[in-house]
């Protein structure tokens, strides 16, 4: 499914079935060792899907999500191994701030595995027309949410001693680190 998110158009599938995740990797041309994100409709559902996050990273998750972040967190239960690529001890999670058709779908399905709806290494799609034809043709559903911001989520690795920006996106790196440190300190 091609779904409008709060940042860019996403290529999404059922996160509970490995085959559907493998299909979005194939459609995108994404290497299987590269992780992708679990995107949930809200923080409470995210904690149901990966219960260890509630205890280990709950304060950080609640402080930063929902929002334009993908958080890389410890995954001691190695849940959703088909999403974690070559790092099953870590998991990327998102809770976007959605409106429109993307919000409606996520409300119904609860969670999806999501990656940007571009070919591997290609530009991030801000409009449905920017999604490659072959991805749109191969998707079970395509939702038009109009023009999106076009800048992907900021990816924060919170598995080490200090937060680390893996990809600067909607939130600039300096601001992302400051938010993460403030959240860790409980401010």
Task: Work out the average pLDDT over 48-77.
Answer: 91
* Count of CB atoms situated within 10 Å of the CB of 131: 24
Give the per-residue pLDDT at 50.
Answer: 95
At residue 149's C-alpha, the angle toward residues 145 and 152, to 5°, is 105
- Give residue 90's pLDDT band: very low, low, confident or very high (50, 70, 90): very high
Reported as a single tens digit per residue, the pLDDT across 9-28 is 999 999 999 999 999 999 99
Reported as a single tens digit per residue, the pLDDT across 139-148 is 999 999 999 9
Identify which of 135, 14, 57, 154 has the alpha carbon closest to the alpha carbon of residue 96: 154
Task: Show the domain range for 11.
Answer: 2-184
Domain count across the chain = 1
Q: Is the pLDDT of residue 164 over 70?
A: yes
Burial of 33 from C-beta contacts in 10 A (0-12 / 13-18 / 19+): exposed
CATH of the domain at 52: 3.90.870.10
- Give residue 56's pLDDT band: very low, low, confident or very high (50, 70, 90): low
Give the per-residue pLDDT at 121.
Answer: 93
Share of the chain above pLDDT 90, in %: 83
Reported as a single tens digit per residue, the pLDDT across 30-51 is 999 999 999 999 999 999 999 9
- Tell whether pTM > 0.85: yes
């Amino acid at each position: 499914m091609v779904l409008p998110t709060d940042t860019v158009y996403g290529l999404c599938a059922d996160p509970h079935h490995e085959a559907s995740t493998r299909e979005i990797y194939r459609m995108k041309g994404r290497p299987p060792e590269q992780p992708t994100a679990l995107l949930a409709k809200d923080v409470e559902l995210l904690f149901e899907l990966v219960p260890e996050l509630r205890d280990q990273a709950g304060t950080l998750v609640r402080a930063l999500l929902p929002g334009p972040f993908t958080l890389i967190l410890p995954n001691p239960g190695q849940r959703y191994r088909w999403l974690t690529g070559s790092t099953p001890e870590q998991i990327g999670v998102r809770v976007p701030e959605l409106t429109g058709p993307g919000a409606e779908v996520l409300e119904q399905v609860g969670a999806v595995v999501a990656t940007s709806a571009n070919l591997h290494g290609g530009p991030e799609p801000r409009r449905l027309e920017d999604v490659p034809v072959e991805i749109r043709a191969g998707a079970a559903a395509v939702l038009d949410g109009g023009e999106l911001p076009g800048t992907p989520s900021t990816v924060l690795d919170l598995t080490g001693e200090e937060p680390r920006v893996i990809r600067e996106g909607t939130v600039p790196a300096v601001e992302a680190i400051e938010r993460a440190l403030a959240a860790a300190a409980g401010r």
